[in-house]
Amino acid sequence: MGAHKRPSKLSKAGAASALTLAAVGATVLVPGGAAEAEASSVSTTALSVAASKQGSPYQWGATGPYRFDCSGLTLYSFKRAGKSLPRTAAQQYNGTNHIPRAARERGDLVFFVSGRGIYHVGIYAGNGKIWHAPKTGTVVRLERIWTNNVLYGRVD
């Protein structure tokens, strides 16, 4: 029977499960990879929350859920994703893991710098764009990053 032995039902089920995972694009976590997957999930959720606030009016000092300033939008978005951030853009920068531009990913924070200070923050959406609450008289929107004077931070 050796070479002609039929696969057991268990091995068929295992192969089917692997094929199903491959077909639906599921991710298999490896030991030590859970923290990275969790951080990615948090950032993706925060990005989705920020995008869902498109059109919400800017209001200085507002932290949502209907009006936002720049750091209020990031604070609100990450809070909904299960992470807490400090209140201001500068405090948020100090509370994140600083990363180089080449390592930025969707959901990372983008901090705008003038002189030695941070004056604005948004959530990186990919393709050189951010979700942010720009200034008085505007609304939460997706916009191209307009300067190279930015720093990046990742929320863990």
Q: How far apart are CA 110 and CA 152, in angstroms?
A: 5
Identified catalytic residue from 120, 130, 150, 155: 120
Nearest to 138 by CA among 67, 57, 66, 72: 57
Asked about 132 being catalytic, the answer comes back as yes
Q: CA torsion 92→105→21→34, rounded to 10°?
A: -40
Q: Please list the alpha-helical segments (H only) found in the chain.
A: 9-24, 34-52, 70-80, 89-94
Identified catalytic residue from 53, 67, 104, 132: 132
**What six digits make up the tokens of 155?**
């929320």
Enter the DSSP assignment of 151: E
Asked about 70 being catalytic, the answer comes back as yes
Identified catalytic residue from 70, 110, 118, 140: 70
Integer CA distances (angstroms), 138 to 35, 39, 85, 104, in order:
37, 30, 24, 26
Asked about 54 being catalytic, the answer comes back as no
Catalytic residues: 70, 120, 132
